[in-house]
Amino acid sequence: MLIRKMWRDLMKNKTQFISIFLMSFLGMFVFVGIDTESSGGSQCVSSYYAKYNLSDLWVMGAGFSDDDVKLASKVKGVKQVERRLALTGTAEKYDNAYMYVNYLEKNNINSLMLCEGEPFDPDRDGVWLESWFADSNGIKVGDRFSVKVDSTRTDAIVRGLVEAPDYVYFVSESDMMYPNYKKCGAAFMSPVMYPDPENIIYNQLIIDVYDEYSGDDSVGIIKKKLEKRFDRDDIAVTDRDQNLSYATFDAEMKQHGAMGVMFAVVFVAIALLGIVTTMARVTAGQRIQIGTMKALGFSKTAITMHYVSYGFIISALGCISGAYVGYLVMPAWILGMFEGAYLIPGLKGAMTGRSIAVTAAAVLVSTLVSFLSCRKELKDPPAITLKPPAPKKVRHSGLEKSRLWLRLDFSTQWNIRDVMRNKLRSLMGILGVMGCAMLLVCGFGCFDSINGLIDKMYGELMTASNKIVLSADADADYAYDLSVLYKGQMIEEKSVEFVSDTAKKSGSATIVDKGNFIHIQDSRLKPLKLTDRGIAMTSKMAGLLGLKEGDRVRWHIVGDDKWQYSRIEQIYRDPSVQGITMKRNVFEEMEYTFCPTAVLTNKSVDPVLTEEDEISSILNIEAMKAAFSETMEIMNAMVYVMVLAAVLLGVVVLYNLGVLSFVEKTREVATLKVLGFSSSKIRRILQKQNLWLTVIGIAVGIWAGWEMLYVICTTVSDTLDMFPILYFPTYVWSIGGTFLVSIGVNFMFSGKVKNIDMVDALKGVE
Amino acid sequence: MPSPMTASGKKRRAQDNKDMAEEKKVLIEFKDVCKKYNQGENEFYALRDANLTIDEGEMVVILGPSGAGKSTLLNLLGGMDSASSGHIYFDGEDLTTFSDNMLTKYRAENVGVVFQFYNLIPTLTAYENVALMKDIKSGTTDPKEALTAVGLERHMHQFPSQLSGGEQQRTSIARAIAKNPRLLLCDEPTGALDTDTGKEVLKLLQDMSRNKKRTVVMVTHNSFFADIADTVIRVKNGGIRSIDHNEHPKDADEVNW
pLDDT for the residue A174: 43
- Best A6, A7, A292 member to test B by mutation, with max B CBs in 10 Å, is A292
- Chain centre to alpha carbon of residue A45: 18
* B217 and A CB contact within 8 Å: no
Instruction: Provide the shortest C-alpha distance from residue A301 to chain B (in Å).
Output: 10
Crossing angle of helices A300-337/A287-296, nearest 10°?
130
pLDDT of residue A760: 62
Residue B21 has pLDDT above 60, yes or no: no
Of A1, A298, A302, the CB nearest to B128: A1
Report the residue from A4, A288, A295 with minimal CB separation from B78: A295
User: Could you tell me which chain B residue has the CA closest to the CA of A286?
Assistant: B121
Is residue B1 domain-resident?
no
The answer as to whether A86 is a domain residue is yes
Decide if A611 is inside a domain: no
A271 assigned to some structural domain: yes
Least confident window among A177-186, A357-366, A455-464, B71-80: A177-186
Considering only CB atoms, which chain A residues are within 8 Å of B107? 294-297, 382
Q: How many domains does chain B have?
A: 1
* Interval B120-164: pLDDT, tens: 888 889 999 998 888 888 888 899 988 988 888 898 899 888 898
**A289 and A381 both lie in a single domain:** yes
Q: Residue B221 pLDDT > 50, yes or no?
A: yes
Same domain, A283 and A263: yes
Same domain, A78 and A227: yes
pLDDT at A439: 83
- Closest partner residue to A299 (CB to CB) among B82, B101, B131 is B101
> pLDDT band for position A362 (50/70/90)?
confident
Residues of A in contact with B128 (CB under 8 A): 1, 4-5
The answer to whether position B18 is within a domain reads no
A408: three-class secondary structure by DSSP: coil
Under an 8 A CB cutoff, do A296 and B124 touch? no
Domain assignment of residue A252, yes or no: no
Q: Give a yes or no: residue B194 inside a domain.
A: yes
Per-residue pLDDT at A206 = 92
Whether A576 and A725 share a structural domain: no
To the nearest 10 degrees (0 to 180), the angle between helices A353-378 and A244-285 is 20
Looking at the 3D structure of chain A, how many domains does it have? 4
Distance CA A350, CA A364 (A): 23
pLDDT tier at A314 (50, 70, 90 boundaries)? confident
Within this chain, do residues A88 and A178 fall inside the same structural domain, yes or no?
yes
What is residue A182's predicted lDDT score, i.e. its pLDDT?
83
Residues A83 and A228 in one domain: yes
Does some domain include residue A473?
Answer: yes
In a domain, A353, yes or no: yes
CA angle A514, A557, A516 (to 5 degrees): 15
Pairing between strand A535-538 and B111-114? unpaired
Closest CA to A439 of A257, A265, A251: A265
**Cross-chain residue pair A297–B105, CB shorter than 8 Å:** yes
CA-to-CA dists, residue A461 to A348, A457, A510, angstroms = 40, 5, 13
Q: Which residues, including other chains, have CB under 8 Å from residue A623's CB and lie 6 or more apart?
A: none
B122: chain A residues, CB-CB within 8 Å: 289, 766
CATH number at residue B150: 3.40.50.300
* Sequence-distant (≥ 6) Cβ neighbours of residue A464 within 8 angstroms: A488, A489, A517, A600, A601, A602, A621
Continuous H helices in A194-346 = 216-230, 244-285, 287-296, 300-337
Contact of B185 with B113, CB cutoff 8 Å: yes
**For residue A658, what are the domain limits?**
426-456+627-766
Query: Which of chain A's residues have a Cβ under 8 Å away from the Cβ of B129?
Result: 1
Whether residue A131 sits in one domain with residue A221: yes
Query: Do residue A302 and residue B124 have CB atoms under 8 angstroms apart?
Result: no
pLDDT beyond 70 at A586: yes
- Residue-wise pLDDT for A145-203, tens only, equals 999 887 788 999 999 999 999 999 887 654 455 677 888 899 999 999 998 888 899 99
Query: Which of A345, A372, A390 corresponds to the end of one domain?
Result: A390
User: Is A402 domain-assigned?
Assistant: no
Weakest mean pLDDT among A407-421, A531-545, A641-655, A734-748: A641-655
pLDDT, residue B32, reads: 93
Whether residue A451 is found in the same domain as residue A477 = no
Structural domain harbouring B234: 58-79+110-249
Q: Same domain for A305 and A209?
A: no
